[in-house]
Amino acid sequence: MSPKKLARGVALVGAGMSKFGSFKGKSSRDLFVEAYVEMLESVEKGIDPTMIEALYVGNYSSDLFEGQGHIAPIMASWTGLSPLPAVRVEDACASAGVALREGILAVASGMYDVVLVGGVEKMTDLATEKVTDTLATAADVQYELPAGFTFPGFYAAMATAYMNDFGATPETFMKVGIKNHFNGSMNEKAQFGAKISTLMEARRASAAKKGLPVPEWDDELEFLHDDRANPPIAWPMRLYDCSPISDGAAVVLLVSEDIAKKFSDTPIYVAGMGQASDGALHDRDTLTSIPAAKLAGEQAYKMAGITPAEIDFAEVHDCFTIAEIIATEDLGFFEQGKGWQAAEAGDTSRDGKKPINLSGGLKSKGHPVGASGVGQVVEVWKQLLGKAGDRQLQRKLKYGLTHNVGGTGQTCVVHIFERRG
């Protein structure tokens, strides 16, 4: 399983995304077109759409969310790109990250020079109470669901095991949420682009306006400990430990390395990538690590020829706050069992030594499941180019990493992007 060398290099030269949120009256098609148009405008030296040769679409389940299967050619048609080959890729919440990988392989194969990769999910058409059940079909339906598990439960099990083994507390997880909401407050595309303190004050103002008793919270942590403001979903995962139900789309444009400078003086190169699969959670030796993430990370570092220490920042799959902590360990940023201490110490904050989820992450930016993997790449592309606006990291950046997980780690896909010069 040692990763080999690609027959030729691949670079990113454009990226775009829709706003993430809850958009009644918009379908996957509308969101995808929104992201596509922003991508077209993002290409520094311009792109003639007729140069695009193939389309990959990550999507978890338009089938279940919108009653629409076979969406890849629909996205091709609505972007005006028919009759190019259009392929849907599905690996649960890692669908878009895996779609990106397929796009990279397609360019590397020599078959295409210019490939569009996107991800899209429209989740809010389904009744809210059905969404968790729908997402649960990404677990093992034969063995895990009959035991009563859905994803908040899986990650709660991982969180309690992690607390037991390493000493983290529920406050550790809250601090991850506070950080990601702080980051997301600078992201105009985020679904919940507000600091926890802002949400707290809004709640107080709302109570006052209604003439209800105004809750007194000393700080964000006290607010997050309030069972009414932040109810447990599956203890120790509370509402603000969980990513939301979201609609959204994101796309990127891939080109072969040899033509990349025709599109941009600063292409962002794919330096490394890795992907691995695993059996269901009930069948693993550990609850406090995701083996497929470790493997995918190792493959990506080996291919890029770098170590975790050389990664300047990362977008990781924080579907739940515990997942971010485990991710930072699986990716080798911190030792196993020490990620929670790094999070508490602020090492993963904007001004820390290893900033994680500058976009706000899935927690604050939103998690349209089949789009998230490419959404992460949009953030890395912007940060590496200095185009991230208010949330731009004010450091010299060379390597950014994305980590995208399907299920509880039945799929994990990691990419490392590089800015040269």
Give residues in contact with a second copy (CB under 8 A).
1, 3-8, 27, 29, 53, 55, 60-61, 63-64, 66-70, 72-74, 76-77, 82-92, 98, 101-102, 104-106, 108-113, 137-142, 275-280, 283, 291-292, 295, 406-407, 410-411, 413
Determine how β-strand 237-238 pairs with β-strand 232-234: antiparallel
**From its phi and psi, is residue 80 left (phi > 0), alpha (psi between -120 and 50) or beta?**
left
Burial class (CB in 10 A: 0-12, 13-18, 19+), 284: middle
Q: Is there a cis peptide before residue 236, judged by omega within 30 degrees of 0?
A: yes
What's the closest the beta carbon of residue 101 comes to a second copy, in angstroms?
Answer: 8
User: Which residues neighbour 121 within 8 Å (Cβ) at sequence distance 6 or greater?
Assistant: 28, 59, 60, 61, 62, 65, 246, 247, 248, 249, 368, 369, 370, 371
What's the closest the beta carbon of residue 189 comes to a second copy, in angstroms?
Answer: 26
Active-site residue, 70 included: no
What's the closest the beta carbon of residue 180 comes to a second copy, in angstroms?
Answer: 25
Give the 3-state secondary structure of 200-226. HHHHHHHHHHCCCCCCCCCCHHHHHHC
Give the whole-angstrom CA distance, residue 21 versus residue 167: 35
What's the closest the beta carbon of residue 195 comes to a second copy, in angstroms?
Answer: 34
What's the closest the beta carbon of residue 283 comes to a second copy, in angstroms?
Answer: 8
Give the whole-angstrom CA distance, residue 63 versus residue 308: 38
Query: Which residue, 236 or 272, has its beta carbon nearer to a second copy?
Result: 272
Query: Which residue, 19 or 101, has its beta carbon nearer to a second copy?
Result: 101
Give the whole-angstrom CA distance, residue 40 versus residue 116: 10
Comparing CA positions, the residue from 218, 174, 184, 186 lying closest to residue 200 is: 218
Query: Which residue, 281 or 380, has its beta carbon nearer to a second copy?
Result: 281
Helices (H), 109-238: 128-136, 151-166, 170-184, 196-209, 220-225
Query: Which residue, 90 or 347, has its beta carbon nearer to a second copy?
Result: 90
Comparing CA positions, the residue from 163, 360, 327, 155 lying closest to residue 237 is: 155
Query: Which residue, 60 or 223, has its beta carbon nearer to a second copy?
Result: 60
Give the whole-angstrom CA distance, residue 130 versus residue 350: 36
What's the closest the beta carbon of residue 45 comes to a second copy, in angstroms?
Answer: 22
Query: Which residue, 139 or 199, has its beta carbon nearer to a second copy?
Result: 139
Catalytic residue among 93, 242, 319, 412: 93
What's the closest the beta carbon of residue 11 comes to a second copy, in angstroms?
Answer: 15
What's the closest the beta carbon of residue 50 comes to a second copy, in angstroms?
Answer: 9
User: Which residues neighbour 179 within 8 Å (Cβ) at sequence distance 6 or greater?
Assistant: 343, 348, 349, 356, 357
Which tokens hold the place of 234? 């599956």
DSSP string, 300-312: HHHHHT--GGG--
Give the whole-angstrom CA distance, residue 235 versus residue 304: 39
Query: Which residue, 156 or 292, has its beta carbon nearer to a second copy?
Result: 292
Which tokens hold the place of 357? 């989820």
Active-site residue, 412 included: no
Amino acid identity of residue 188, one-letter, is E
Query: Which residue, 56 or 313, has its beta carbon nearer to a second copy?
Result: 56
Catalytic residue among 181, 317, 319, 367: 367
Which residues are identified as catalytic?
93, 367
